[in-house]
């Protein structure tokens, strides 16, 4: 029986080479600066690549791409010749050896591991003390949105529909691009280049949120780029799915535009089965590797399935929660409120850096308002999550029946006043 081939990680090599002319497809979305709003659309295609397809085995050489300054759009490479994302390079696979060696156990000679190197195969091995010293010598991670999101982290923001995920995410992106803090949450980092992948709003919807009735507009920082799907791209390279093409385009985006902060609105565009663990696991692993390889801080927006509005928000309210929560660094959520249609609260869900601060007993209560042509969350107070939840229907009926009973009313009178049957009242008042 032959020995399994040595596993090779497809993006391990740092050598980058460019795709051939034939391998190039159209880039699926244009990139715009959000200052001023409504600036001219840049959808020019990039120049053709000067390298041949023979150099595709070890990645992409972005330096060879002719990308004129006047066109910010990123030309997408093709996977037609390179193979699908994650495909293994057969030229790297290791000889499996003889059946006799396989019978006696693994052949560790296949792993290149000099005696002076403590690392083993896929593993980096250090003493615990060495890990502490190495981490101590690195610059500390700075806060981007208080303790809810740190530099270098993959963070998830989720809520039910129409509660303002995009509003809050744009507000966070705008603050980071300016190097300012919002909602009383500390911002330690300096201004950074932010790419907001907006796969939800149209240009007219975006204009309406950040302009006034008199025609005045909000001016964003030049550091904030807005990215959307290019509707003119309808054909993808042979053998390449939309999800794979999107991921490859994100790779080019962060390299060509030197992006440090990436917001993806929303996660369903990375795949249409995010609620399934079989899909959520590889997707989150890809995000983690993508962020680490490009030194990114990533905020991903996600929806929640239908939930009970009388119950507190938990990590289980996120679709595909187990895998997505396991592999993200942090998470926070937005909840609606019974105190008003424009009242929201922000709750901390997952935290790896500090003790929980914005939990159920100390949520951040906000109001959604448009101030100075900018639709945003305005801080109101800190409060208890329970104060913003709807009452359980049965509990409310029990409480009402008992109140009427305490006033000396008979069960028949209570039934008439509450509009329910006498038997229903009898059941509600049972001890």
**Would you give per-residue pLDDT tens digits along the chain (431 residues)?**
455 444 444 444 444 444 444 444 555 556 555 554 444 444 444 344 334 434 444 444 444 444 544 556 654 433 333 334 444 444 444 344 444 444 556 665 655 555 677 888 888 899 999 999 988 888 888 999 999 999 999 999 999 888 999 999 999 999 999 999 999 999 999 999 999 999 989 999 999 999 998 989 999 999 999 999 888 887 888 888 888 888 889 999 999 999 999 999 988 877 666 566 667 778 888 889 999 999 999 999 988 877 777 888 988 888 665 678 888 899 999 999 989 989 999 999 998 888 999 999 999 999 999 999 999 999 999 999 999 988 766 677 888 888 889 989 999 999 888 878 888 888 888 87
Beta-carbon contacts of 407 under 8 Å, excluding residues fewer than 6 positions away, are none
Is 285 in the same domain as 371?
A: yes
Is 123 in the same domain as 190?
A: no
Is 200 in the same domain as 302?
A: yes
Nearest to 332 by CA among 158, 143, 212, 141: 158
d(CA 377, CA 148): 16
Residues 145 and 152: beta-carbon distance below 8 Å:
no
CATH number for the domain including 326? 3.40.50.300
What total number of domains does the chain contain?
A: 3
Is 177 in the same domain as 323?
A: yes
- 332 is a domain residue: yes
Is 409 in the same domain as 264?
A: no
Beta-strand relationship, 154-159 and 194-198: unpaired
DSSP state of 199: S
- 239 is a domain residue: no
Is 169 in the same domain as 48?
A: no
Which residues make beta-bridge pairs with 154?
298
Query: E-assigned strands of 163-233?
Result: 194-198, 224-227
- 242 is a domain residue: no
Residues 252 and 62: beta-carbon distance below 8 Å:
yes
Using alpha carbons, list the distances in angstroms from residue 168 to 70, 118, 165, 225, 301. Answer: 31, 46, 5, 16, 10
Of 108, 138, 168, at which residue does a domain stop?
A: 138
d(CA 119, CA 357): 38
Structure tokens at 222: 């030049």
Q: What are phi and psi of 373, to 5 degrees?
A: 65, 30
Residues 73 and 42: beta-carbon distance below 8 Å:
yes
Positive or negative, the CA dihedral 194, 200, 201, 202 is positive
Unique residue bearing structure tokens 């959808």 = 43
Is 218 in the same domain as 90?
A: no
Unique residue bearing structure tokens 């990645």 = 59
Helix, strand or coil, per DSSP, at residue 350: strand
Is 344 in the same domain as 212?
A: yes
Strand 261-265's sheet: what is its strand order? 31-33, 224-227, 194-198, 261-265, 297-303, 154-159, 330-336, 343-350, 363-371, 374-383
- 237 is a domain residue: no
Nearest to 54 by CA among 82, 34, 26: 82
- 187 is a domain residue: yes
Is 99 in the same domain as 77?
A: yes
Our CA angle for 273, 24, 7, nearest 5°, is: 60
Which residues make beta-bridge pairs with 261?
194, 297
Is 9 in the same domain as 85?
A: yes
d(CA 140, CA 137): 9
d(CA 300, CA 328): 10
Is 90 in the same domain as 159?
A: no
Nearest to 401 by CA among 359, 429, 364: 429
Is 204 in the same domain as 122?
A: no
d(CA 269, CA 274): 9
d(CA 386, CA 266): 28
Helix, strand or coil, per DSSP, at residue 154: strand
- Work out the burial of residue 114: count CB atoms within 10 Å of its CB; fewer than 13 is exposed, 13-18 middle, 19 or more buried: exposed
Unique residue bearing structure tokens 């910010």 = 72
- 17 is a domain residue: yes
Structural domain of 412:
393-428
């Amino acid at each position: 029986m032959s020995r399994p081939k040595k596993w090779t990680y497809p993006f391990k090599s740092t050598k980058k080479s460019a795709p051939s002319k034939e391998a190039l497809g159209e880039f699926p979305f244009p990139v715009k600066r959000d200052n001023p709003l409504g600036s001219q659309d840049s959808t020019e295609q990039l120049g053709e690549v000067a390298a041949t397809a023979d150099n595709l085995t070890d990645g992409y050489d972005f330096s060879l791409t002719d990308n004129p300054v006047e066109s910010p759009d990123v030309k997408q490479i093709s996977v037609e010749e390179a193979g699908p994302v994650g495909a293994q390079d057969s030229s790297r696979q290791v000889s499996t050896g003889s059946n006799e060696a396989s019978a006696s156990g693994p052949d560790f000679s296949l792993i290149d591991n000099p005696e002076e190197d403590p690392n083993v195969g896929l593993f980096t091995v250090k003493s615990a003390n060495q890990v502490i010293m190495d981490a101590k010598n690195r610059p500390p991670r700075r806060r981007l949105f208080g303790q809810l999101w740190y530099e270098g982290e993959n963070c998830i923001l989720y809520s039910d529909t129409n509660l303002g995920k995009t509003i809050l995410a744009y507000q966070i992106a705008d603050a980071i691009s300016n190097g300012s803090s919002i909602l009383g949450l500390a911002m330690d980092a300096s201004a950074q280049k932010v790419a907001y992948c907006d796969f939800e709003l149209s240009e007219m919807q975006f204009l309406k949120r950040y302009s006034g009735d008199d025609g005045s507009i909000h001016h964003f920082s030049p550091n904030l780029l807005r990215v959307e799907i290019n509707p003119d791209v309808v054909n993808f390279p042979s053998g390449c799915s939309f999800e794979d093409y999107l991921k490859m385009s994100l790779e080019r985006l962060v390299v060509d535009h030197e992006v440090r902060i990436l917001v993806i609105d929303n996660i369903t565009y990375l795949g249409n089965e995010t609620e399934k663990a079989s899909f959520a696991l590889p997707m989150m692993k890809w995000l983690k590797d993508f962020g680490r390889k490009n030194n990114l801080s990533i905020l991903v927006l996600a929806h929640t399935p239908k939930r009970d509005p009388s119950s507190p928000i938990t990590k289980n309210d996120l679709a595909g929660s187990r895998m997505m929560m396991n592999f993200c660094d942090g998470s926070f959520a937005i909840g609606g409120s019974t105190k008003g249609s424009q009242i929201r609260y922000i709750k901390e869900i997952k935290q790896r850096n500090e003790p929980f601060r914005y939990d159920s007993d100390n949520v951040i209560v906000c109001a959604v308002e448009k101030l100075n042509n900018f639709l945003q969350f305005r801080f109101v107070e800190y409060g208890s999550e329970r104060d913003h939840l709807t009452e359980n229907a049965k509990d409310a009926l029990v409480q009402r029946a008992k109140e009427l009973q305490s006033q000396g009313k008979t069960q028949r009178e209570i039934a008439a006043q509450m509009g329910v049957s006498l038997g229903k009242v009898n059941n509600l008042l049972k001890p």
